Amino acid sequence: MISLERLTKVYGHGDRAVTVLQDLDFSVDAGEIFAVVGPSGAGKSTLAQCVNLLERPTSGSVVVNGENLSQLSEAQLRVARRTIGTVFQSDGLFSRRTAAQNVALPLQYLGVTPAETKRRVAELLDRVGLSPRASYYPHQLSGGQRQRVGIARALALRPSVLLSDEATSGLDPESTASITALLKELRDDLGLSILFITHEMETVLQVADSVARLDRGHIVESGRLVDLLRDPSSELGLALKPVGNARESGAGENSWVIQYTSTSVPTNWVTALSEALAVPVSLLAASIETINGATVGNATIGLPHTDEAETIEAAARLGLTARRLSAGRVNAGKALENSEQAA
């Protein structure tokens, strides 16, 4: 379990002081994957370095399993860091060491005997599915395999917290999926608290239990992933699962954005809505999936001119939120997502 208490980081002094992180407060429980997402320059890497104490927070604290790590001396920090495993972006493996030698690094620093190191390294490589590649050098491994080695190395000292800064950035979708699956498996098997930092919304959907959005050093929104996706007023929820590019509605139709807000939306809600309103429903865009065991989704539909209040009411009975789009606002969700990426 790890918690941040009013964590603030300022670089520089006096006139040139820049507050990169301001009053961050959140905690990651054992067995939880907490994602921090935000655009480039938001302060994500700074947050990562404050958490594994490569940078000292200016104020506030980092507490791991009840121990406040921000007050420790340099030598005490070295010991404390063992409770936090860090997975770095793709450039983290030493080029002149094999996969096994890279995994052995933290054990070697700690002074573990060669026999014990060998045993533990074999176990870790097996854990991440790379036993057959133990004697490969980093340049002989794929991006996904290199990250697996990085994860094995981060786990070498049996940390209770795993910190990952852009560990899947730059990987192809398939490797990303295999890394996120591995992280979930490790979370379940080892009860790790995982702080997963990324700029990719897609990856957050795959991996997170909870998510916080970091923007210019502030946490602007946070919550359980499923709750955010079900909350029609959540900007982060919308950014995570943008409404797809919809077809134009037909002549004499209005476009409506529908969002799943309850746990019990019937699978045949399109038919049910059509019957309730006694009009045909055109499906213009839809995305429905199961995330962390819960169904979430959104859709854009076209309806002939119906009574607005009645439509919203009928949708609500099905566990949906309906919002009518004025003409020309069909792709509003998309536009929001684009401005997101430009930021």
In the complex with ligand ADP, which residue's Cβ is closer, 11 or 94?
A: 11
Min dist. Cβ of residue 326 to another protein (A) = 50
Q: Which of 7, 28, 35, 42: binder of ligand ADP (CB under 6 A)?
A: 42
Closest separation in Å from C-beta 212 to ligand ADP: 13
Site string for another protein, 65-94 (x = CB under 8 A): -------------xx-xx-x-x-xx-xx-x
**DSSP designation for 280:** -
In this structure, what DSSP letter does residue 77 have?
H
x/- contact string, 123-142, with another protein (CB under 8 A)?
Answer: --------------xxx---
Residue span binding ligand ADP (CB under 6 A) among the ranges 38-46, 133-141, 272-280, 322-330: 38-46
Rounded CA gap, 72 and 322, in Å? 53
Among 38, 43, 57, 106, binds another protein (CB under 8 A): 106
Question: Choosing among ligand ADP, another protein, Mg ion, none, which partner's interface includes residue 20 (Cβ < 5 to 8 Å by kind)?
Answer: ligand ADP
Residue 107's nearest CA partner among 93, 87, 92, 121 is 121
Residue that the structure tokens 């002074």 belong to: 111
Which CB contacts under 8 angstroms, 24+ apart, belong to 285-293? Answer: 285/243, 285/244, 285/245, 285/246, 285/247, 286/244, 287/241, 287/243, 287/244, 288/260, 291/205, 291/225, 291/226, 291/229, 292/209, 292/225, 292/226
230 binds ligand ADP (CB under 6 A): no
Q: What minimum distance in Å lies between the beta carbon of 75 and another protein?
A: 8
Do 10 and 58 meet the contact criterion of CB atoms below 8 Å apart? yes
**Quick one: tokens of 165?**
């800064």
Residue 342 binding ligand ADP, by CB under 6 A: no
- Name the token pair of 75: 């030598």
Task: Name the binder of 68 from ligand ADP, Mg ion, another protein, none, CB < 5-8 A by kind.
Answer: none
Q: How far is the CB of 312 from Mg ion (least distance, A)?
A: 42
| Residue 239 CA, distance from chain mean position | 12
* Region class of 299: left (phi > 0), else alpha (psi between -120 and 50), else beta: beta
Nearest of 270, 275, 334, 332 to residue 302 by alpha carbon: 270
Candidate list 15, 40, 74, 293; residue touching ligand ADP; CB under 6 A:
40
- Which member of 8, 45, 169, 292 binds ligand ADP (CB under 6 A)? 45
**Minimum distance from residue 41 beta carbon to ligand ADP (Å):** 5
Beta bridge partners of 87: 164
Region of 36-44, 74-82, 129-137, 280-288 interacting with ligand ADP (CB under 6 A): 36-44
Which helix (H) or strand (E) segment is 213 a member of? strand 210-215
Place of tokens 């057959």: 132
20 is a site residue for ligand ADP (CB under 6 A): yes
Residues that bind ligand ADP (CB under 6 A): 11, 18, 20, 38, 40-46
Residues that bind another protein (CB under 8 A): 49, 52, 54, 78-79, 81-82, 84, 86, 88-89, 91-92, 94-97, 105-106, 108-110, 137-139, 153, 156-157
